[in-house]
Amino acid sequence: MRPFGSIAFFPRALLLGATVAAFGAAPGQDAPQPTPPPAPITLVSGAGGKNYLNISFDALIAAGVSTEPDVPGLQTGGHDPAQRGFTFQNGEIVLDGAVDPYFRGQANIVLQITPEGGTTIELEEVYATTTSLPHNLQVKIGQYFSEFGRINPTHPHTWDFVDQPLVNGRMFGGDGLRSLGVRLSWLMPTPFYSEILFGVQNGHGETATSFGSTAGETQFGRPLDPGQVKSFSDFLYVPRYDASFDVGDTQTIVVGASGAFGPNGTGSAADTAIGGVDFFWKWKSARAQKGFPFVKVQAEAMARSYDAAATPLLPETTFHDHGAYAQVVWGIKPMWTVGARYDRVGGDVGDDPADPRFAPRQRAALEGTWYPTEYSKLRVQYAYDDRGGGFKDANSVWLQFEFLLGAHAAHKF
Amino acid sequence: MSFKRFLTAAAVASASALPASAALRVVATTPEYGAIATAVGGDKVTVAVLAKPTEDPHFVDAKPSHIVTLNHADVLIEGGAELEVGWLPPLTDGARNTKINAGAPGRVRASEGIQLLDIPAALDRSLGDLHAAGNPHFMMDPANGRIVAEHVATVFCQLDAASCASFKGNLQAFEEKLDAKTKDWAAALAPYKGRPIVTYHPTWKYFAARFGLVSELYLEPKPGIPPSPPHLAEVMQAMNDKKIKIVLVEPFQSRKTAEAVADRTGATVVDVCQFPGGLPGTDRDYIALLDADVKAIVAGFEAKK
């Protein structure tokens, strides 16, 4: 699914200070003339739904310090801060628009600057969705984030924290679970919002780490080699159900359950199953200005069962692990939020105790964000990592800055 | 059950869920279009509204329940001048309802046929939150409300020809009442012709242009940009210089800021709203809303401070 930019928040932060300062200013002396509003000009404007294609660019930059020198070992997300100092987390070019009366198309092209100074480019998502199918059906075709839970299908600039939850890193790797495929969704004819989704995607590649993954990678200490698609059982299957209810005029609840099933790269007939549940609740004032004030709570829990085929040295076995996070974000007043998140992952460590990805750990994070407008933000986050498996605890402070240019489509709720 | 049978059952359930009632199901993005639809449609339509009258219309949540509402709609009335651009597209994408897809007869862009003000010469966000199509708050001019009512009646007639006579009768009654009221409002505001007003956001330009007021001063330094101390100081200076007596504020805007400015300049804060239901006694009634706004503004001008 998508995320895109939007107009979703606005700030207004300086109000208090502003009025106070205004009082301080003596009215009267040489106040400049108020800027006259633009005179009505009757010209054909260049936008306003007059384009075939919306184009936007979003940049996400982090800076900070951590007591852990091995930042990539600490931060499990591919768009998390990657080193002490500055990290270019994400530069996202989004193109979207109506293809014709039957499809909408979207491409998310992501650029990153590696700690070594090189630039990488990734065709993160490219897909079309249908717009005119009957019976409340919708099909999505292309390369897309699997619709599993709430964080996985979204892009980093929509997140409420600087980094992705630990459980997402553990289950889906740094770049999230995404692949080429097709997804059918049905909006059910219930009085409340209720949707069933079913996706079929390639199960191999570096963005399907719990499944085929790529040759040379490991999971639970086991070497992986995905092999070829030989039958329908070699695909990744991703079902999801979600439902939403309004409580009165100001509260909304969304609940969902997702699964991801497919073979993994440890050998033939070795399968992975991941199940997850998610919850979202939001309260927004009936007199919201710029969408503030609000309070939102979000939580996801996942569990994985990973069959590992026998190797010449290791027996066939099944690993089990799990993780969860819960977060609350309070939009105190226009353009200001504070939030807290608790993360936890655990379960089987696998056959390589030195792999930091599988150490049991928990993490607590606090954040504060100021949105100068809905097109920019400045965030500070503190996190304490309590890491098992012989890894040292860590304290980290990250700053994050975002700016958004152009016409970025609005995000899903 | 096989997957195919499941899908068949689902399709049947989907079809049978459609209400048998012939009333057009109308969804309006914001309450003033809902009020117009109610006035024109009468008992031949049902009307649902997505945005609350008391919330900032630029920042409505794209709640999943709105997707369900839109899924059932025969008609969607939107402003179409980018006011809803931050939240309507994901809703219409999710709704899977071809009756309200862009270009369908059931998709009404109320701004069509309206002469919009403030069309930016260049799209430059350093100037604030500009709307490429122009200022979207055009419904504050009753003449534009009249155009939209006619537009809506035409669409209703197209979609439900059997009820067309009823729609036309309702439209005529609405227009007669609106025209009479517009004369009353013009008379009530005539004594203040040429008087400048301060508003929070450029919401009242169409209203001011219609009734001879001057709306050129805003608490926001640029559209959508929060009030800053230097800007408020400028506004207060201008209010003193021009003897500006009223500051208009809506339910979702910061009344505290407006009060602070008014207190320092001897002006009066006037509670107004651009949406029916945002002021007491105006629920689903466009004319009652404008009536309440005019009365509040007149009372503001007359307030002794």
Amino acid A387 reads R
A238-256 burial: b if 16+ Cβ within 10 Å, else e:
bbbebbbbbeeebebbbeb
- Flag the least confident range among A157-166, A218-227, B167-176: A218-227
- Flag the least confident range among B18-27, B71-80, B115-124: B18-27
Residue-level pLDDT at B275:
98
From first CA to last CA, the distance across chain A in angstroms is: 11
Per the listing, tokens 């005119």 go with A132
- Average pLDDT of the segment spanning B179-195: 98
pLDDT tens digits, one per residue of A319-362: 999 999 999 999 999 999 999 999 999 999 999 989 999 999 99
More confident residue, A410 or A368: A368
pLDDT tens digits, one per residue of A232-280: 999 999 999 999 999 999 999 999 999 999 999 999 889 999 999 999 9
Using the predicted structure, report yes or no on whether residue A50 has a pLDDT greater than 50.
yes
Is B238 near chain A, with CB under 8 Å? yes
Using the predicted structure, report yes or no on whether residue B206 has a pLDDT greater than 60.
yes
Q: Which residues of A touch B64 (CB under 8 A)?
A: 193, 242, 244, 252, 254, 413
Q: Which residues of B touch A187 (CB under 8 A)?
A: 67-68, 71, 94-96
Using the predicted structure, report yes or no on whether residue B3 has a pLDDT greater than 70.
no
B71: exposed, middle or buried (C-beta count within 10 Å: 0-12, 13-18, 19+)? buried
CA B227 to chain A, closest CA, distance in angstroms equals 6
pLDDT tens digits, one per residue of B75-84: 999 999 989 9
- Flag the least confident range among A139-143, A330-334, B7-11: B7-11
Sign of CA dihedral B132, B133, B137, B141: positive
Closest CA to A123 of A42, A205, A43: A205
- Average pLDDT of the segment spanning B187-196: 97
Q: How far apart are CA B125 and CA B202, in angstroms?
A: 16
- Average pLDDT of the segment spanning B170-194: 98
Residue-level pLDDT at B229:
96
Q: Which residues of A touch B94 (CB under 8 A)?
A: 187, 412
Q: Which residues contact A26 (CB under 8 A, 6 or more apart)?
A: none
With CA atoms as reference, the chain B residue closest to A14 would be B228
Residue-level pLDDT at B129:
85
CB pairs under 8 A between A and B: 234
More confident residue, B15 or A274: A274
With CA atoms as reference, the chain B residue closest to A133 would be B96
Using the predicted structure, report yes or no on whether residue B19 has a pLDDT greater than 80.
no
Q: What is the mean pLDDT of chain B?
A: 92
Residue-level pLDDT at B28:
98
Q: How far apart are CA A173 and CA A185, in angstroms?
A: 25
Using the predicted structure, report yes or no on whether residue B261 has a pLDDT greater than 70.
yes
Using the predicted structure, report yes or no on whether residue A8 has a pLDDT greater than 60.
no
Q: How confident is the model at residue B305 (pLDDT cuts 50, 70, 90)?
A: low
DSSP string, B71-114: HT-SEEEE--SSTTTTTHHHHHHHH--GGGSTTSTTEEETTTT-
Residue-level pLDDT at B131:
87
More confident residue, A226 or B267: B267
pLDDT tens digits, one per residue of A172-212: 999 999 999 999 999 999 999 999 999 999 999 999 999 99
- Average pLDDT of the segment spanning A150-155: 97
